Amino acid sequence: MTVHPALTPGKIAVITGGASGIGLAAAKRFATLGLKVCIADANPDALDKASAELGDAGLAVRVDVSDRASVEALADRVEAELGPVAVLMNNAGVGGGGDALSNPDGWLRVLGVNLMGVVNGTQVFGPAMAGGGAPGLIINTGSKQGVTCPPGDTAYNVSKAGVKALTEGLAHTLRNREGCQVSAHLLVPGFTYTGMIAARVPQQPPGAWTPDQVVDRLLDGIGRGEFYIWCEDNETPRALDEKRVLWNANDIVENRPALSR
Ligand code: NAI
């Protein structure tokens, strides 16, 4: 499988929510590929720990992705200390938020981080990436829940459905931009055993993926030029095929080659 040119030694990656879970696993993997990685996160203790793990390959910056000015300050620092960004992974996320009838503050918090955080990252970093003429990747972390919308955390589901719609729109915009070599990808984790889950469930449940498995799948999906990068293995291949057919029926995957490069 060919290695994407944005994932080659010396390139620069920014990962929001990069201090733990899926984001940290991606940061470590990108570092092993030779990239310089900025982990950007709201949790200072986690940042310190992750920074120590990454060593020289990493720059750790405290950010609140829901705050545009904070993301702009992040971009300034990355530009000054590392250089032009080749890979942006909008991954920071929080759970919960509330059901359809309650908790307006929870809705604002979850939509602010999970959806506006991706908008902020995309709009602050995206124009320079898209206009620079260099190969690039914008990877947005959605969720299976943004597609299946199970009952309960409706605010979370809505935020992730929004990330899906945003990433589709972004993919079209990038594709139609003259000379642009940046592609957008939606990472769609299923149940992944990370901080959010580990805080509630003491042992890794059957069917859950590790963050490293999600990153394996991410690299596999990018290598294949997939737009939707599904992370599921607790379903039969047939069920997965049926799901892909369903998604194709929605004109999303192979039926719309413009979405994948
Ligand atoms: P995690 O809790 O280990 O990582 C999330 C990171 O985001 C944390 O380090 C946290 O400090 C950071 N963060 C939270 N609010 C922030 C803000 N305002 N600004 C900057 N950073 C902030 O969780 P995990 O599981 O690694 O989550 C990563 C992404 O994957 C999230 O977007 C999550 O919604 C998504 N996801 C996770 C699944 C799972 O089962 N763990 C399933 C589907 C999607």
pLDDT value, residue 2: 75
Assigned CATH topology for domain 5-259: Rossmann fold (3.40.50)
User: How many Cβ atoms sit within 10 Å of the Cβ of residue 190?
Assistant: 18
The rounded Cα 249 to chain-centroid distance in angstroms is 25
pLDDT value, residue 199: 77
Whether the CB-CB separation of 4 and 27 falls below 8 Å is answered with: no
Ligand 1 contact, 141 CB (< 6 A): yes
Catalytic residue IDs: 156, 160
**Angle formed by the axes of helices 44-54 and 21-32, to 10°?**
20
How far, in Å, are 52, 70, 102, 113, 226 from residue 106 at the CA level?
A: 33, 21, 9, 11, 33
Q: Tell me the residue type at 215.
A: V
pLDDT category at 239 given cuts 50, 70, 90 is low
Instruction: Report the range of poorest mean pLDDT among 19-28, 73-82, 214-223, 230-239.
Output: 230-239
Instruction: Report the range of poorest mean pLDDT among 73-87, 138-152, 155-169, 222-236.
Output: 222-236
pLDDT value, residue 10: 97
Tokens coding 227 = 């737009």
Q: Tell me the sheet residues that pair with 90.
A: 140
Interface pTM, i.e. ipTM: 0.99
Ligand 1 contact, 183 CB (< 6 A): no
pLDDT value, residue 158: 98
Instruction: Report the range of poorest mean pLDDT among 86-90, 164-168, 172-176, 257-261.
Output: 257-261
Ligand 1 contact, 143 CB (< 6 A): yes
In what helix (H) or strand (E) does residue 97 lie, and over which residues does it extend? none
- 171-185 pLDDT, tens digit each: 999 999 999 999 999
How far, in Å, are 20, 59, 66, 70, 179 from residue 81 at the CA level?
A: 22, 9, 23, 16, 27
| Top mutation candidate among 29, 194, 197, 229 for ligand 1, by most atoms within 8 Å of CB | 194
Closest ligand 1 atom number to CA of residue 64: 19
Ligand 1 contact, 73 CB (< 6 A): no
Which residue bears the tokens 């959605």? 142
pLDDT value, residue 220: 94
pLDDT value, residue 243: 54
Ligand 1 contact, 198 CB (< 6 A): no
pLDDT category at 242 given cuts 50, 70, 90 is low
Closest ligand 1 atom number to CA of residue 112: 18
The rounded Cα 92 to chain-centroid distance in angstroms is 8
Instruction: Report the range of poorest mean pLDDT among 75-79, 166-170, 230-234.
Output: 230-234
pLDDT category at 232 given cuts 50, 70, 90 is confident
Whether the CB-CB separation of 58 and 27 falls below 8 Å is answered with: yes
pLDDT value, residue 85: 98
CA distance 246 to 153: 24
Domain residues of the chain, as ranges? 5-259
Instruction: Count Cβ neighbours within 10 Å for each residue of 72-90 and write b for 16 or more, e otherwise.
Output: eebbeebeeebeebbbbbb
Segment 220-238 mean pLDDT: 79
Q: What is the DSSP letter of 34?
A: T
| Top mutation candidate among 61, 110, 196, 230 for ligand 1, by most atoms within 8 Å of CB | 196
What is the distance in A from the centroid of ligand 1 to the CA of 255?
31
| Top mutation candidate among 49, 140, 141, 149 for ligand 1, by most atoms within 8 Å of CB | 141
Question: Biggest alpha carbon distance in the chain?
Answer: 50
**Mean model confidence pLDDT for the chain:** 89
- pTM summary value: 0.92
pLDDT value, residue 207: 83
Residue partners of 144: CB distance under 8 A and separation at least 6: 188, 189, 190, 191, 231, 232
What is the distance in A from the centroid of ligand 1 to the CA of 197?
10
pLDDT value, residue 1: 65
Question: What residue's CA is closest to ligand 1, atom 12?
Answer: 17
What is the distance in A from the centroid of ligand 1 to the CA of 156?
12
- 177-225 pLDDT, tens digit each: 999 999 999 999 998 999 767 777 888 888 889 999 999 999 999 999 9
Q: Is the pLDDT of residue 17 over 70?
A: yes
pLDDT value, residue 233: 64
pLDDT value, residue 241: 53
